[in-house]
């Protein structure tokens, strides 16, 4: 769950890495696929957060989906292509 340098991964860093990897052939990525990848990486943290805040996990998950959508729309590295699909603006891809 940690990036190189010991920093904790964020929803945006995971999204950037995932979309960069999956859209190499010019394909747009569905929002739900992006969210599934983020959830797979941050699920343990979210479970603990739900417990600490005394929230139902499904409610927290719904909040995280909304937060991700908002983050993607305001971050200029990401481009909404319609149909609930996203890609990364040229020049911001992560090359591995």
Burial grade of 14 (CB within 10 A; 0-12, 13-18, 19 or more): buried
Model pLDDT, residue 6: 52
Against a cut of 0.95, is the pTM above it?
no
Residue ranges per structural domain of the chain? 11-88
Q: How confident is the model at residue 90 (pLDDT cuts 50, 70, 90)?
A: confident
Model pLDDT, residue 95: 60
Q: How confident is the model at residue 96 (pLDDT cuts 50, 70, 90)?
A: low
H-helix segments, the chain: 11-22, 31-52, 57-74
Q: Residue written as tokens 């719904």?
A: 62
Q: Is the pLDDT of residue 92 over 70?
A: no
Among residues 4, 48, 63, the alpha carbon closest in space to that of 13 is found at 4
């Amino acid at each position: 769950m940690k990036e190189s340098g010991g920093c904790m991964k964020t929803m945006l860093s995971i999204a950037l890495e995932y979309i960069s990897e999956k859209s190499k052939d010019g394909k747009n990525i569905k929002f739900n696929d992006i969210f599934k990848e983020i959830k797979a990486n941050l699920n343990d943290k979210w479970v603990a957060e739900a417990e600490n805040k005394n929230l139902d996990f499904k409610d927290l998950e719904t909040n995280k989906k909304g937060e991700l959508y908002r983050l993607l729309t305001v971050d200029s590295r990401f481009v909404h292509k319609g149909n609930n699909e996203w890609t990364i603006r040229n020049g911001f891809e992560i090359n591995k």
